[in-house]
Amino acid sequence: MCALFGRVLVVLLLLAVVFGCAPKKVRIYESTSGIRGDIIQTSASFIGKPYRNGAKGPDAFDCSGFVYYVFRQSRIALPVSAAGILKMGYQISRDGIQPGDLVFFKISKELHVGIMLNGREFIHASKSRGVAVDDVDSSYWQKNLLSFRAVL
């Protein structure tokens, strides 16, 4: 009886490890092709990569390093700092957002930048979670929202 219980416990633990560590499924975003589609696909491929201050990828990123690296993969040159990126392109309204546009936040006097995936979700290098997807309408992000910019 004890041996059977031990085997069942081992099988259950293995199942928990296998299914608990399964890769996170990335939601399918608005059908996007061309350069915008490339930006979205590239950015999504880094979900889960760790945050490291000053890192420009591909093994770790800070927020501006992530945007810099993703756009560079599509041969689009952007500055490496969030302040520099904020000066690029042009400001757009919330209604004009397209996948691949940028979103900026002001958090404790520091700039933070991410890439819009659709009209609501963005991907960014989070200090606490690494590269992750968040909702711009969540209370935390909404209260720190600065602007949206198009660089494509």
Local structure of 98: helix, strand or coil: coil
Residue 102 catalytic? no
Q: What is the largest CA-CA distance in the chain?
A: 70
Residues 44, 131: Cα–Cα separation, whole Å: 9
Residue 2 catalytic? no
Catalytic residue among 46, 112, 122, 141: 112
Pairing of the two strands 90-92 and 121-126: unpaired
- Residue from 141, 109, 107, 108 nearest 123 by CA: 141
Catalytic residue among 39, 44, 63, 132: 63
Dig out the tokens for 111 from the structure.
């700039």
Residues 152, 143: Cα–Cα separation, whole Å: 26
Catalytic residue among 124, 126, 141, 148: 124
Dig out the tokens for 103 from the structure.
């979103």
Residue 46 catalytic? no
Give catalytic residues, as residue numbers.
63, 112, 124
